[in-house]
Structure 1
Amino acid sequence: MNNFASYSVMDEEFSQYFGFTQVEVEKFLADYELSDKIGIVKEWYDGYLFGNTEMYCPWDVSNYIKALTTNRNKEPKNYWENTSSNSDIKAFFEMPNCDPSEKFEALLNGGTILETVTDALTYEQAYDSESNLWSVLLMTGYVTPVRHDQVSSKQKEMRIPNKEVADIFQTAVVDQFKASVDETELHDLMTALWSGQEERASIILSDLLWSTISYNDYHEDYYHTFLAGIFVGRGGYAVDSNKERGLGRPDIDLRDKRNRRCMIIEAKHSESEKDMGNDCDKAIKQLRDNQYALKLTGYTQVLRYGVAFYQKQAMIKLDKEDLETK
């Protein structure tokens, strides 16, 4: 095909066809008697600016509404997980002499960055420079312009569009942390946990937190992802995260079958530093009440830990109650 015209997310022409408009989403929800869900849908799947048109992601909206027709209480989720490997975000960490930490930190804290971008890239050029990578993220919806009226056509002030994409960035950051963390520190953390050294484990976990990107709005999901990033995939252990056990779903269920020992961890996000001790106790109570250690047949050591996080601090408490192997 020759002499065809192409339009990107930066062009005004046909911008209304890149996704769903506000009016279309409101009608979509109303047709299924789901108008009360507009706030959640907007928080998770809105926020894109294509040309001069504000848009929702049609794939996400369609999937979430489909889920709601089966269960009106269905929580929103990341529908991009099965459509992208997030390799474009990870490419920043692999590029020589490129440290995106400050820019990622600004974006994840709800801020903006100013970058020179272009929509005229070939595939071979996409990973040639940091600015080209930002262009790729803009074209693929990981970031979006703050406004249509920009300082210049090439410089764009950009932000993360919504909660779903913020979750993708967060996961990529945790994955990078997991790949780069000092194995000696992890070994020391595991040694402290298996031997019941609460204070030592708290210090090491806090040190690991300092290696990650800072957030203004820390929340429990972030800390759960952080913990899973530390434990899941480590050799020698069988690890489950949020898998049903007893009467609920513990955050981390780690089993060392060779040495017949098991560790169950429940994490809480504290509102202040002074609340951390009490929140550890609440986590331990949840471990007991939900019988997370039930039916761990054959294990000679079962440890239950309550963990509390406040910003970049961690406190770990061991449940001192004797555990009988069931």
Structure 2
Amino acid sequence: MGSYLNPGNKGFQESLNSKIYVDKTGLIEKTNAALNTRQKFMCVSRPRRFGKSMAADMLAAYYARGEDSAELFEALKISKAESYEKHRNQYDVIKVNMQEFLSMTHSMDEMLVMLQKYLIFDLMDHFETVRFRDEHNLIQVMKDIYSKTNHSFIILIDEWDCLFREYKQDKEAQKKYLDFLRAWLKDKDYVALAYMTGILPIKKYGSHSALNMFTEYSMTDPGDLAEYFGFTEKEVFALCEKYDMSFEEAKMWYDGYQLIAHRQTGNEIYSMYSPKSVVEAMLRHKFGTYWNQTETYEALKIYIQMDMDGLKDSVVRMLAGDAVSIHIGTFSNDMTTFATKDDVLTLLVHLGYLTYNSTAETVSIPNKEVSQEYINARRYFR
């Protein structure tokens, strides 16, 4: 067990030990179905504090060799799935948080050097009987391991998009980062599953993406993962009963993210709630603003100030309860490239400050908690 290779169960164990834990292990059945298929590349983007890191911890605990996680999962939903026993603790898992490496370095080049150095250290320490062609090349090291063991890896990348949020203007660094991820992951036999989480979908250059092998699941198109993008109405109702809190108030404060799962049997609409907000409200026994006390609030102020194509007027309309038409197709999946008001509104959907109705192609302010932040920023509407 290393820091990044098969990192253990501690993260998921802490989630299970928490006062409030909502079972989202059904996600594992979805990732099991993608293993060693053309759908093995998954990028899940959703707002801050919507359970992205918890999901990565859960997947690491389930898949990783070295520790038997049966006791953790035996009472959870995934234990009833047909694929449960087949894949539990059967893979070598690499789990990295890109924000950690970005915070420890001062440039993109330095970050990538450190990332590869640390991963190679864990890999060579664990697979000590393997002879390596190039001990300084991460891709070749993983190829050599796969050639010797015939065991593929599950790669979990948390905060994959942090570079695009902190190096907003550095297009060269962004391109170099995407090229590294493509070279590391694409067309590699040693990848059984690559699962990335972030706030932003994968960056597009023109009409193309360097990571076009990934299936994206986002706030504008959650696919069949919609029910794992927060707490469902049923889950919130159960928590309100348990903690003797008003479900009607919880709905007013935190409901409003309408995510549509498009399926062969028809569309299914999920009414999703911010997990951070619901948990805080239950534990504090008080409804209020909890989720949006993050750095993304600064983005809300900055982008409203731009007032592109009458953006402020659209915000005023949405504060009055209106929905505003939007075209999301031109959004470049970064925080600086904006051609129209629609691009800014699409970014606010991914940040969690708006909700998108894919059927009507409109956006609106989801709930009282979020609307309060627009009210706080009302001086920028003038």
TM norm structure 1: 0.45
Comparing both chains, which one has the higher relative contact order based on Cα–Cα distances under 8 Å and sequence gaps of 6 or more?
2
TM-score by length of 2: 0.39
Higher helix share: 2
Structure exhibiting the larger radius of gyration computed from Cα positions: 1
